[in-house]
């Protein structure tokens, strides 16, 4: 079990790191086709990362450790989350550490690191982006906690591996009112956490609308490559979490090499489908005005709260 479990954890990290740019490229390609353009190809983000890694790193004058360490910290925290989450298997050596609070705290650490880096530059755009990012994070993190907590009540644990394992063996939980409400709440939270439309537009550089881009405008070369890779990994991890919690079929629950291969293939398919659906939806959605974003996130928090309430009463506690 030890060798198999280590292989499962390594496979999760490798598929997230290696597949994250491909997922972003797939989403851009789908969006391009929907808009009548040819697109640059699904492998273009990897070519961009390779090009940036060859450039000379540039650090703005006056910046401190927060600016220099944020890209590596973003990638590192997301990599740890990829190892902890039950993306391919619920039976790994680190499954005991895949607690909901730990995972959300690691995601929040990456967000705070980028916000501090934006402030460290001393520019108006960096401070503006950091302020907006922390406002969004203050509304998103509680929503993620509550939406997953609604699923933890029937499972009797906040351990994500236990929740996913219970969902695999009791799929009726996902069709309950609590499961449906939690799905909707977590989906909105994922959009906000990853900076997608309608909360943020990852392809814009308009000063009045950008959130994530405003914090990373001063990065260049390898640092920018790490920032882009970290953002792509967060998107893959959160879509994987959404798929594992609400469509857990295929996740390996025992030590079987065949089950691990099947889980790997199904994980890639599920995340690709979610990414494609999101890309199609972004073609028809418009970005919300900044002052309307808290209303959307407050609505998702209310859905998560209703999910917890209904889960509590339906569980008969």
Amino acid 107: pLDDT: 95
Amino acid 209: pLDDT: 66
Rounded distance between C-alpha atoms, residue 287 and residue 276, angstroms: 18
Helices 221-246, 65-84: crossing angle, 10 deg rounding: 30
pLDDT one-digit tens code per residue, 262-306? 999 999 999 999 999 999 999 998 888 888 899 999 999 999 999
Amino acid 217: pLDDT: 86
Amino acid 86: pLDDT: 94
Q: Encoding tokens for residue 247?
A: 């469509």
Amino acid 205: pLDDT: 64
Q: φ and ψ at 159, to 5 degrees? A: -75, 125
- What does pLDDT average to in each consecutive run of 10 residues of the chain (317 residues)? 83 95 95 90 93 90 91 96 94 90 95 94 88 92 94 91 90 85 94 88 69 86 94 96 92 88 95 95 87 92 94 74
């Amino acid at each position: 079990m030890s060798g198999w479990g280590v292989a499962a954890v390594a496979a999760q990290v490798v598929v997230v790191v290696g597949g994250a740019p491909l997922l972003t490229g797939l989403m851009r390609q789908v969006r391009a086709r929907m808009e009548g353009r040819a697109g640059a190809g699904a492998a273009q983000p990897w070519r961009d990362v390779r090009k940036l890694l060859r450039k000379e790193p540039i650090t703005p004058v006056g910046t401190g450790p927060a600016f220099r360490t944020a890209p590596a910290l973003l990638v590192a925290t997301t990599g740890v989350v990829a190892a902890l989450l039950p993306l391919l298997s619920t039976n790994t050596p680190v499954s005991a550490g895949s607690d909901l609070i730990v995972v959300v705290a690691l995601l929040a650490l990456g967000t705070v690191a980028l916000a501090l880096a934006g402030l460290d530059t001393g520019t108006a755009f960096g401070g503006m982006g950091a302020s907006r990012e922390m406002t969004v994070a203050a509304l998103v993190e509680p929503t993620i906690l509550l939406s997953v907590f609604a699923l933890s009540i029937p499972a009797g644990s906040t351990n994500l591996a236990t929740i996913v394992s219970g969902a695999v063996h009791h799929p009726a939980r996902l069709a309950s009112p609590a499961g449906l409400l939690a799905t909707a709440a977590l989906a909105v939270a994922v959009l906000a956490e990853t900076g997608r439309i309608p909360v943020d537009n990852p392809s814009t550089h308009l000063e009045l609308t950008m959130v994530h881009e405003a914090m990373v405008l001063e990065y260049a070369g390898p640092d920018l490559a790490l920032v882009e890779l970290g953002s792509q990994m967060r998107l893959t991890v959160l879509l994987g979490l959404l798929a594992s919690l609400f469509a857990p079929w295929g996740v390996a629950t025992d030590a079987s090499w065949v089950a691990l291969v099947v889980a790997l293939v199904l994980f890639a398919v599920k995340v690709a489908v979610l990414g494609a659906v999101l890309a199609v939806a972004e073609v028809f959605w418009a970005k919300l005005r900044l002052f309307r974003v808290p209303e959307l996130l407050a609505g998702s928090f209310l859905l998560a709260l209703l999910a917890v309430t209904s889960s509590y009463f339906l569980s008969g506690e």
